[in-house]
């Protein structure tokens, strides 16, 4: 198998979701004021959010001031100057189901001064008893191709999302019901108006979790989600063309839904930064694979999430080296940003989570590497001179500038 491009191969298909009992993905973040490790994001030494908390709506969210642990204001590159090597680790779903993966990777990010993007699925904050509040386009009310979380797991997810934002990570969206495939209900066939409905509902489940759960014993999420939400990733990387007009209307900064991107410098699509998962070398296989845990699995165990365990050591190392090979190809040549997608999952004994950890540790130790969120990378792109970005875009995959980089 090679880089998969359709149902279940690029995000998480319905069948795979059921087989894996997937609860989602998450993000992890930055520094707590300690000196960051080599190549990490340099975070401003900010403390906790301002004590002045302004509840929003029913108090599910609140305005707490500027987000802590953000990089210094980006500055434009000089012509020919070596760009940093940006790496974005992102997580689809961002649900914690008691396996400890959300806090595990928050801890890892904190250790290495990394910021990440968590694409939160709105349904992961909606109790199953209230599932009929969800009206998915072209599907029955309350339907979802990913499972609803238990009350305990919703509480864990709220804890993870709250901690992630306070530690400097971005909270994006993975929308709601994760409808893939080619059928009428698939996100591939949704109109812009239907995408707007899906987004409005995803936001409402985050902004109204207190009303929907009836819980009053948990603190609010410390951000205004209307302002925080500036990008997302669609289920299975489908439906981007009709999503983008809505994203532009909402003022989003980027979209991470393109399938099969190359390791080159990005452009805008319909006025939105197009930041796709990318094809990277798959060690020992003679072809390239998409930079996501699910695609590693699909090419190793033919979608099985519980393959014979004797395969695990070799597959774990192959997955880690795929990420590392993609990183090295960019780092040593065109310095194109590197985008990695994951889920909080334990497929095939958890080997893909171990591979991500190994890859992150390798990258964090390198000079000029910045482990950032998509939002932080968009901030950097937006201040660059157009002619400098145009020059960077002339560099193909694995192509360094003639004469090397100019170091100022």
Strands 170-173 and 287-290: unpaired
Classify residue 126 by its DSSP letter. S
User: What pLDDT does residue 248 have?
Assistant: 98
3-state secondary structure of 12: coil
Q: Any alpha helices (H) in 65-191, and if so which ranges?
A: 101-112, 151-166
- At 269 the three-state DSSP class reads strand
Dihedral in degrees, nearest 10, Cα atoms 72, 77, 82, 86: 50
CA distance 364 to 331: 12
Q: In angstroms, rounded to a whole number, what is the distance separating the alpha carbons of residues 357 and 243?
A: 32
Q: How many CB atoms lie within 10 A of CB 283?
A: 15
Element (H, E) at 392: helix 386-393
CA–CA dist 125, 210 (Å, integer): 9
Residue 47: CB atoms within 10 A of its CB come to 9
Inter-residue contact 152 to 98 (CB < 8 Å)? yes
Cβ atoms of 96 and 157 closer than 8 Å: yes
Consecutive H or E run containing 313: helix 312-331
CA–CA dist 328, 394 (Å, integer): 19
Q: Give the C-alpha separation, 87 to 401, whole Å.
A: 20
| Beta bridge pairs of residue 56 | 61
CA separation, residue 361 to residues 111, 146, 248, 350, 356 (Å): 10, 31, 35, 17, 9
Sequence-ordered list of residues with C-beta below 8 angstroms from that of 348, at least 6 positions apart, any chain: 297, 300, 301, 304, 305, 306, 307, 311, 312, 315
pTM for the structure as a whole: 0.89
Superfamily of the domain at 18-393: Glycoside hydrolase/deacetylase (3.20.20.370)
Structural domain boundaries in the chain: 18-393
Longest dimension (CA), the chain: 63
CA distance 329 to 396: 11
The two structure tokens encoding residue 147: 């499972």
pLDDT tens for the chain, 408 residues long, are 444 433 333 333 323 333 333 333 333 333 333 333 333 344 443 445 445 899 999 999 999 999 999 999 999 999 989 999 999 999 999 999 999 999 999 999 999 999 999 999 999 999 999 999 999 999 999 999 999 999 999 999 999 999 999 999 999 999 999 999 889 999 999 999 999 999 999 999 999 999 999 999 999 999 999 999 999 999 999 999 999 999 999 999 999 999 889 999 999 999 999 999 999 999 999 999 999 999 999 999 999 999 999 999 999 999 999 999 999 999 999 999 999 999 999 999 999 999 999 999 999 989 999 999 999 999 999 999 999 999 999 999 999 999 888 764
Residue 384: both structure tokens together: 């660059």
């Amino acid at each position: 198998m090679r880089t998969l491009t359709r149902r279940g191969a690029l995000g998480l298909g319905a069948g795979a979701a059921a087989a894996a009992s997937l609860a989602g993905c998450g993000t992890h973040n930055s520094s707590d004021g300690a000196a960051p490790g080599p190549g990490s994001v340099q975070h401003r030494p900010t403390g906790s959010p301002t004590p002045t908390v302004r509840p929003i709506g029913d108090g599910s969210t609140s305005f707490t001031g500027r987000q802590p642990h953000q990089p210094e204001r980006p500055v434009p590159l000089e012509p020919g100057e070596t760009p940093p090597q940006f790496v974005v680790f992102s997580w689809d779903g961002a649900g914690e189901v008691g396996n400890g993966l959300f806090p595990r990777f928050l801890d890892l990010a904190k250790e290495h001064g990394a910021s990440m993007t968590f694409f939160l699925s709105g349904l992961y904050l909606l109790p199953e008893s209230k599932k009929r509040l969800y009206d998915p386009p072209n599907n029955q009310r309350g339907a979802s191709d990913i499972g609803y979380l238990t009350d305990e797991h919703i509480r864990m997810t709220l804890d993870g999302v709250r901690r992630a934002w306070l530690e400097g990570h971005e909270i994006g969206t993975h929308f709601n019901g994760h409808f893939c495939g080619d059928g009428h209900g698939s996100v591939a066939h949704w109109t812009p108006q239907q995408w707007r409905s899906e987004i409005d509902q995803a936001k409402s489940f985050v902004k109204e979790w207190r009303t929907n759960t009836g819980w009053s014993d948990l603190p609010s999420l410390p951000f205004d989600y209307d302002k925080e939400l500036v990008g997302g990733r669609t289920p299975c990387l489908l439906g981007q063309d009709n999503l983008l007009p809505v994203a532009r209307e909402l003022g989003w900064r980027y979209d991470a839904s393109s399938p099969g991107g190359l390791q080159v410098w990005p452009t805008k699509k319909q006025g939105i930064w197009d930041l796709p998962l990318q094809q990277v070398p798959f060690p020992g296989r003679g072809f390239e694979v998409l930079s996501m845990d699910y695609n590693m699995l699909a090419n190793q165990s033919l979608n099985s999430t519980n393959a014979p365990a004797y395969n695990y050591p070799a597959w774990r190392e192959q997955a880690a080296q795929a990420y590392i090979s993609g990183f090295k190809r960019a780092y040593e040549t065109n310095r194109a940003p590197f985008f990695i997608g994951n889920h909080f999952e334990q497929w095939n004994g958890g080997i893909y989570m171990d591979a991500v950890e190994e890859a992150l540790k390798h990258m964090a130790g390198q000079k000029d590497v910045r482990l950032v969120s998509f939002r932080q990378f968009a901030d950097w792109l937006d201040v660059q001179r157009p002619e400098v970005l145009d020059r960077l875009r002339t560099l193909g995959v694995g192509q360094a500038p003639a004469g090397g980089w100019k170091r100022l």
